[in-house]
């Protein structure tokens, strides 16, 4: 009896299972094709996005190089101004130093002349005091 039930199930279920397998294969082929199409579309979109990113990256590199060149030019200009300023400061220091030396010499001469006049005046005063006290 078990054998008969087994045969009945096999004769009834086997064709059903075979039909289901066929349906699965058909669906697999159908979806596999669709998945391949979607995957190709996705790959194309990713490639396009990669191209755009590469273009932006190149553009950014170009802009950064231009900014770097501007900074280098600015740095050169600032260094030039710094050198000019230092040169001018040195020139002014030399001029002032020369002027101070001349001024110091004039002051020394004036003080020397004043000292001589004061000594002469002191001697004259002492002479007058001596003459008056006699």
What pLDDT digit, counting tens, does each position of 59-78 carry? 999 999 999 999 999 999 99
Q: How far is Cα 59 from Cα 52, in angstroms, rounded to an integer? A: 10
Apex 46 CA angle, 65 and 38, nearest 5: 175
pTM for the full model? 0.46
The pLDDT > 70 percentage for the chain reads 100
CA gap 22, 5 in Å, rounded = 25
Measured in whole angstroms, how far is the alpha carbon of residue 37 from the centre of its chain? 46
Per-residue pLDDT reduced to its tens digit, 86-112: 999 999 999 999 999 999 999 999 999
In the DSSP assignment, the letter for residue 134 is -
What's the CA gap between 120 and 36, in Å, rounded? 123
Q: How far apart are CA 36 and CA 99, in angstroms?
A: 93
Q: Kindly state the average pLDDT of the residues 11-38.
A: 78
């Amino acid at each position: 009896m078990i054998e008969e039930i087994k045969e009945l199930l096999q004769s009834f279920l086997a064709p059903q299972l075979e039909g289901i397998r066929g349906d699965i294969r058909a669906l697999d082929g159908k979806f596999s094709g669709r998945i391949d199409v979607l995957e190709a579309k996705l790959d194309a979109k990713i490639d396009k996005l990669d191209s755009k990113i590469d273009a932006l990256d190149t553009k950014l590199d170009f802009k950064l190089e231009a900014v770097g060149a501007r900074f280098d030019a600015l740095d050169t200009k600032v260094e030039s101004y710094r050198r000019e300023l230092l040169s001018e400061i040195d020139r002014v220091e030399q001029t002032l130093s020369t002027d101070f030396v001349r001024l110091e010499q004039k002051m020394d001469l004036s003080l020397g002349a004043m000292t001589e006049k004061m000594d002469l005046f002191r001697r004259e005063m002492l002479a007058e005091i001596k003459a008056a006290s006699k």
